[in-house]
Amino acid sequence: MNRGRHILSAFDRDLETVQALVVKMGGLVEAAITDAGTALETRDDELAEEVRRRDRAIDALEAQVNEEAARLIALRSPTATDLRLVLSVIKIAASLERVGDYAKNMAKRSNVLAQMPVIEGAGMALRRMAGTVDQMLKDALDSYVHRDAALAADVRQRDLEVDQMYNALFREFLTHMMEDPRNITACMHLHFIAKNIERMGDHATSIAEQVIYLVSGELPEESRPKRDSVSQIGLGEGDQA
């Protein structure tokens, strides 16, 4: 009986180590979103470059999470609920890594946009959209830490708000391009940034869905609320990280 408790506590310690890495990773990703949005609005090349450099630390943490999770599965042979938890950790880390990539893409575009004429109000609008996604990510991670399925469900619903913001920005960029062809290049870059932020929201939502899966043992049955994207008109897709 003592041996069983010893094995259980060893698994718990290993799992706490992996989950601590995920939480640390989440903090870095949240900072990347905030700083990328600030760099875009203020045209801060140095801050944008810092966001790009810090992405390497996010990538390294994901690799460490995967390595630790694989070791945990190999050594502890978790079953049922415990295995579900380990697999969810891996998926959450993957989603965080993707969000970090999109923040890096924002920073890359910010450096280019700093050399172009300002599109009035665009930087502020994109920073506000990024702030909305950042709060979604914070809440998704909080719901994971506290196993709060209700908060996770709320995050999932807020993805619709991000889609609405994206569609409104797309229409605004289209208007600027139609009014003055000299705005086309800048608006194309701004659109790619908006699309990247929208995809960040998708990944925050995926994390929330993993929390619901952890708590209930099932993924949400109803389809995720999504507003059809108007960008099919012709500006194309966002960056591939």
Q: Is the backbone of residue 185 left (phi > 0), alpha (psi -120 to 50) or beta?
A: alpha
- pLDDT for position 11: 81
Please enumerate in sequence order all residues whose Cβ is within 8 A of that of 179, keeping only pairs 6 or more positions apart, or say none: none
- pLDDT for position 78: 82
- pLDDT for position 3: 46
Q: Is the Cα torsion angle 71, 74, 79, 80 positive or negative in sign?
A: positive
- pLDDT for position 7: 53
Contact 122, 173 (CB under 8 A): yes
- pLDDT for position 208: 97
pTM of the model: 0.88
Can you list the domains of the chain with their CATH numbers? 2-233 (1.20.58.220)
Amino acid identity, position 230: V
Nearest-angstrom CA–CA distance, 40 and 190: 10
How would you label 35-55 residue by residue, b for 16+ Cβ within 10 Å and e otherwise?
bbbbbbbebbeebbebbbebb
Secondary structure (3-state) at 120: coil
Main-chain dihedrals φ then ψ at residue 54, nearest 5 degrees: -70, -15
- pLDDT for position 112: 92
Ranges in the chain, pLDDT < 70: 1-8, 222-241
